[in-house]
């Protein structure tokens, strides 16, 4: 019985894939800025989302971010693969259609003094287009 349940669970959710629409990786040195131009499909608007890190100590990274004139500061711990979420547009019908970006702190290179981030775009309704103004990291 348990095997039937597990098989049904896998078949049910295997078609959904990942919840994010796109992902990019960035490797940044201290005070180097990751910039992304966020374009809305309707109505046509453009806003810049950027972040940078300023301090790495005790496996924690201090990150400063800005989007649409709102600034924030986050302390991301490497041991917990922490991230921060940035809402890109307001809801139209429900909170499920809100596009947002998640910036994940992946690792810190002590030799080169660089931090690696992944940016995940969750946008089921395809309301935004991202133009990366900072080169992405090639794996």
What's 84's domain CATH number? Answer: 2.60.98
Q: Cis omega (within 30 of 0) on the bond before 61?
A: no
* Count of structural domains within the chain: 1
- Which residue range is the domain that position 122 belongs to? 18-132
Find the largest Cα–Cα distance for the chain.
56
Residue 4 has pLDDT above 60, yes or no: no
In a domain, 87, yes or no: yes
Strands (E), the chain: 22-29, 34-40, 45-57, 60-67, 70-77, 83-87, 100-109, 114-122, 128-132
User: Could you identify the residue written with the tokens 């959904």?
Assistant: 16
With respect to residue 11, please indicate whether it lies within any of the assigned structural domains.
no
Q: Is residue 10 part of a domain?
A: no
Residue 28 falls inside a structural domain: yes
Please give the model's pTM, rounded to 2 decimal places. 0.80
**Mean predicted confidence (pLDDT) in 83-101:** 85
| pLDDT of 95 strictly over 80 | no
Half-sphere exposure (Cβ direction) of 35: Cα atoms closer than 13 Å: 9
In a domain, 2, yes or no: no
């Amino acid at each position: 019985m348990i095997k039937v349940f597990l098989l049904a669970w896998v078949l049910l959710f295997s078609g959904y894939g990942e919840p994010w629409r796109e992902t990019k990786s960035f490797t940044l040195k201290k005070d180097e800025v990751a910039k992304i131009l966020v374009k809305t499909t309707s109505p046509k608007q453009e806003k810049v989302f950027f972040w940078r890190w300023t301090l790495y100590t005790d496996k924690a990274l201090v990150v400063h971010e800005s989007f649409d004139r709102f600034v924030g500061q986050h302390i991301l711990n490497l041991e917990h693969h922490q991230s921060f979420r940035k809402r890109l547009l307001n809801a139209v019908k429900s909170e499920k259609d809100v596009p947002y970006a998640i910036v994940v702190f992946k690792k810190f290179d002590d030799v080169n003094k660089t931090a690696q981030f992944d940016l995940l775009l969750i946008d089921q309704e395809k309301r935004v287009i991202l133009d990366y103004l900072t080169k992405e990291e090639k794996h």
